[in-house]
Amino acid sequence: MNESDSNFDYDLRQIVLMEEQLSQFESGSLTLSHLVAGLKSLQNCLRTVNEDWKKNFVSEWWTLEQVHAVALDRQKTEFSSADLALLKEATANLRALTASAKEELKHSANE
């Protein structure tokens, strides 16, 4: 296995961890605070995904961060229906992004 293959495998593991965190958040076993921090940390570790993907990911992540920041600022313990709609859309978009990254990484690793 060369270094490039190792980087693809590493990134694939980070993407899988992102998907796991999204699932945990959706099931209620992970807080928004932990999701925001975890996704950002994992995104920062990625080595081979393209810049457009990263920009799209950060855009969706930013929605999560904004909802979280407003909730903290207003000392809210529950999300409004508008907040929930934003969170649902952003997590769905993040799921689509992670799925596309997985496919791209698997394809690149097989070349």
Q: Domains in the chain: how many in total?
A: 1
Considering only residues 68 and 110, tell me which one the structure prediction assigns the higher pLDDT: 68
DSSP 56-111: HHHHHHHHHHHHHHHHHHTT-SS--HHHHHHHHHHHHHHHHHHHHHHHHHHHHHT-
pLDDT in tens, 25-83: 999 999 999 999 999 999 999 999 999 999 999 999 999 999 999 999 999 989 999 99
Domain containing 92: what range?
3-109
pLDDT(4) > 80: no
Mark 60-77 as b/e (b = at least 16 C-beta within 10 Å): bbebbbebbeebeeeeee
Question: Cα dihedral sign for 20, 22, 26, 31?
Answer: positive
pTM (2 d.p.): 0.92
- Residue of 15, 5, 101, 87 lying closest to 53 (CA atoms): 101
Looking at residue 3, its pLDDT comes to 65
Looking at residue 106, its pLDDT comes to 85
pLDDT(87) > 60: yes
